[in-house]
């Protein structure tokens, strides 16, 4: 298992490098001079040139690229061109909100999605299966902001159970949880829809396997056949889906954070985009890329835990 972990870690390095290169190029390919964007259209050419010089934008591309990589290697992601604060400071301020939201929605997705998917597969073509399929289809079809607005309408405006604007006091655990419920539900339900579908199809496949028949042939009770023999095998593709949709979750969290007016990485990225804060944007993209690489690494490591064939390779 240690060698496998090391292997996966090393394999993540070239991935990260490739992603960083793409980020660097994208930022420089997009139209719009950041200097003009920051200084305004009325700035004189002299000022603009001086500003570009200060940002190093007049250097050759490969010099900029080298500097970019060297800075990242030192953990320096640059500073916002608007607020002047470093990317780390800006990210650090909203990271707890994002982690809360992401973790809670994944938890909801797993806790609801896996049992629902398993139930649907075991009672294939029964009413549980039809209801589950219908609900998960709705979950997949609704855009994130739509679910969020529905939740606000019902639980905040009609029932007045939860706040419309979820801006929690992070120091107070009760307030933190209270403000998390609706945003987490709105994202978590989408996650549940994905996990349910993956769990159902994966379970259906596994339930048809020969080793499930073997388990039944040796008199293992049906519950144990499903939960012990089948589910462990079915979890492998489910983990893949959860890993994949974690990336999607980040995209959806932008919408959720805007609707609930909740601080977070997603909102930060949209704000930077609107302000053409390209240094900030670049830093945030690096943070996201690292995040995805870590998620993939965790997914791989989970395979190793679930499937003995993986770690013996």
Partner 1 sequence: MPSTPNSASDPAPDNAGVSDTVLSVRGLTTAFNRRGHFHAAVRHVGFDLQRNETLCLVGESGCGKSVTALSLMRLLPGRRQCRVSGSAWFDGQDLLALSEPAMTRLRGARLSMIFQEPMTSLNPVLPIGAQVGEPLVFHRGLSRQEAEREALRLLDLVKIPDAARRLRQFPHQFSGGMRQRVMIAMALACRPDILFADEPTTALDVTIQAQVLALLNDLRQERNLSLVLITHDLGVVASVADRVAVMYAGEIVEQAPADRLFARPSHPYTEALLRSIPRSDRDVGELRAISGQVPPIHRMPAGCRYAPRCPVAEAACLDATPALAPLPGDPAHAVRCRVRNPAAASEGRIGHA
Q: Which residues bind partner 1 (CB under 8 A)?
A: 209-211, 213-222, 224, 229, 232-233, 306-309, 312
What angle (nearest 5°) sits at the alpha carbon of residue 312, between those of residues 308 and 313? 120
Question: Residue 6 CB, nearest distance to partner 1 (Å)?
Answer: 22
> What is the C-alpha separation between 136 and 140, in angstroms, rounded?
6
Q: Which two tokens stand for residue 147?
A: 């679910």
Q: Which two tokens stand for residue 7?
A: 């292997």
Question: Residue 313 CB, nearest distance to partner 1 (Å)?
Answer: 10
C-beta of 278 vs 303, nearer to partner 1: 303
C-beta of 190 vs 226, nearer to partner 1: 226
> What is the C-alpha separation between 221 and 105, in angstroms, rounded?
33
Provide the 10 A C-beta neighbour count for residue 113.
29
Q: Is the Cβ–Cβ distance between 113 and 135 less than 8 Å?
A: no
Contacts 24+ apart (CB under 8 A), 36-43: 37/276, 37/278, 38/81, 38/82, 38/276
Question: Residue 115 CB, nearest distance to partner 1 (Å)?
Answer: 20
Query: To which residue do tokens 């007049």 refer?
Result: 58
Question: Residue 245 CB, nearest distance to partner 1 (Å)?
Answer: 23
Q: At what angle do helices 144-151 and 173-207 cross, to 10 degrees?
A: 130
Question: Residue 191 CB, nearest distance to partner 1 (Å)?
Answer: 25
C-beta of 29 vs 217, nearer to partner 1: 217
Question: Residue 215 CB, nearest distance to partner 1 (Å)?
Answer: 7
C-beta of 59 vs 209, nearer to partner 1: 209
C-beta of 56 vs 222, nearer to partner 1: 222
C-beta of 222 vs 251, nearer to partner 1: 222
């Amino acid at each position: 298992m240690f060698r496998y972990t090391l292997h996966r870690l090393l394999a993540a390095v070239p991935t990260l490098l490739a992603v960083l290169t793409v980020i660097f190029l994208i930022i420089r390919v997009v139209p719009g001079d950041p200097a003009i964007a920051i200084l305004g259209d009325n700035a004189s050419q002299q000022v603009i040139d001086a500003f570009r010089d200060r940002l190093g934008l007049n250097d050759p591309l490969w010099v900029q690229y080298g500097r970019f990589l060297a800075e990242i290697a030192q953990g320096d992601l640059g500073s916002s061109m608007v607020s002047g604060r470093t990317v780390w400071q800006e990210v650090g301020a909203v990271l707890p909100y994002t982690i809360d939201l992401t973790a809670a929605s994944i938890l909801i997705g797993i806790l609801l999605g896996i049992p629902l998917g398993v139930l649907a597969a075991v009672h294939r073509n029964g009413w549980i299966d039809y209801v589950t399929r219908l609900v998960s289809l709705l979950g997949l079809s609704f855009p994130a902001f739509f679910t969020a607005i529905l939740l606000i309408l019902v639980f905040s405006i009609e029932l007045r159970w939860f706040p419309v604007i979820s801006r929690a006091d992070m120091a107070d655990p009760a307030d933190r949880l209270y403000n998390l419920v609706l945003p987490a539900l709105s994202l978590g339900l989408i996650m549940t829809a994905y996990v349910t579908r993956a769990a159902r199809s994966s379970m259906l496949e596994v339930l048809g396997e020969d080793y499930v028949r073997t388990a039944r042939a040796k008199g293992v009770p049906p519950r144990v056949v499903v939960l012990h023999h089948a589910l462990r095998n079915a979890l492998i593709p489910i983990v893949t889906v959860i890993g994949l949709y974690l990336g999607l979750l980040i995209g959806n969290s932008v919408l959720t954070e805007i609707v609930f007016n909740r601080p977070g990485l997603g909102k930060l990225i949209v704000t930077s985009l609107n302000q053409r804060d390209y240094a900030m944007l670049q830093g945030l993209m690096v943070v996201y890329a690292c995040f995805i690489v870590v998620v993939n690494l965790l997914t791989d490591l989970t395979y190793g835990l679930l499937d003995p064939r993986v770690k013996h390779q």
